[in-house]
Structure formats: structure tokens, C-alpha cells
Amino acid sequence: MILKRPTVNTQQDLIDKASVKELIEFERFCRDNALWDEMDKCFTSDSKITISWFQGTGHEFVEASKKMPGRAPHKIYNTEIWLNGDKAVAIMIATIQKRIDINGYPVELNSDAKLVFSVQKINGQWYIVSMEGIYEKDSLVPVYPNANITVPMEELSEFRESYACLSYVLSQDGYDIAGDLPGIDRPDLVEAFYKKTDEWLSK
């Protein structure tokens, strides 16, 4: 069902798609603006989050996000949504951003990813059942063009190509980074993930 051209939408389909889009964008807005109580309301109690630095429930993700040092806001682009009754899958294109210090100079991390949400309508309200990342590419860019910055390539080479810079930055803050996540450098993992997600939506 997912990754297929949408068929004709009923009026209810359009309402549901708008509600799903609002939900997942609101969750990201809460994450970026430290609205923790409202963020927590977006998840089911048994929700599952699987991203580079965290694996656990939605509630645990909120608690872990509270403790994360610094800010890591998201730039959100287009979102595609597929419906099947009271279930939906939404794929959000986003860039994860974080500013860090290297050799005394500010450096901007930009990590491009697809955030894939499985959501479900429960008692008339949509909730996030799972959120997982598919990583594409990332970069570390000096904020000032004349900055004298050296990134240790031997450390970057320890991480997956599709999210090496993100992994490096997060590891500097003490996070253990999962190395087996879907990314464009591992199309087999992406294919398996989409298959699993499609099976959930189709049931």
C-alpha cells in the first residue's frame, strides 16, 4: 500500500490525512520547543521509537529528549500519507540540525532523513504507534567560512555513511549509536523496513 500513488480520496480520507499530518508535525514542534507534556500526549502507551540515539517507548523518548544537551531542531519538508481504515503511515522528509563546537568554532550539523510514522485512530483520535528513521546523508558545515576546523576522519569512519556526522556529534555527547538502522547505504534494510511497515498497514 505504501509508496504507491494515492487513489481518489473521500472527504473523510482528506480529513484523516490532515489530522495525521497535524499530529506528526505537532509532535516534532513539541520536541523542538520543549513542550514535553504535549509531546507525550501524541504517543500510545506501547509506542515504539527507533532512531540513531534512542530505542524505546514514546514516553521514554520524551523523558530522554528532556535530558538531551543542546538543541536539535528539525526542518520539515513534504509529507506523504497512506490510509487504511483506522491506520495510517506517514513519511516525513526532514533535516535534523544541531550546532556544536569544534576547535573553538561553531559548526552546524545537517542530517537528512525520512521519519516514518505509523499512526492509529483510537476512540476518534489519532496517535503515534511508532516512529523510525531512514537516514540519507549528513554534513558538518562551519558557521564562519574562515574557521580552522579539523574533524578526525578515523572517528567518522567508524560510523555508517548515511549518518556518520550525526553519529559522530551524538557520540561526543556520550550516546551509543545504533549501526543497523535503515539508510540509503543499506538498501536491504530499507526494503525490509518498508515491507514490515506495509504489512502493519495492510492488516
Q: How would you write the pLDDT of the chain (203 residues) with one tens digit per residue? A: 899 998 889 999 999 999 999 999 999 999 999 999 999 999 999 999 999 999 999 999 999 999 999 889 999 999 999 999 999 999 999 999 999 998 889 999 999 999 999 999 999 999 999 999 999 999 999 999 888 888 888 989 999 999 999 999 999 899 999 999 999 999 999 999 999 999 999 99
Q: What is the pLDDT of residue 146?
A: 83
Q: What is the pLDDT of residue 87?
A: 98
CATH number at residue 55: 3.10.450.50
Q: What is the pLDDT of residue 6?
A: 83
Q: What is the pLDDT of residue 169?
A: 93
CA-to-CA dists, residue 61 to 11, 20, 45, 47, angstroms: 34, 20, 12, 10
Residue 2 lies in a domain: no
CA distance 103 to 147: 9
- Domain span including residue 164: 11-198
Residue 6 lies in a domain: no
Residue 3 lies in a domain: no
Number of domains composing the chain = 1
- Say what the pTM is: 0.95
Residue 203 lies in a domain: no
CA distance 116 to 133: 6
Residue 78 lies in a domain: yes
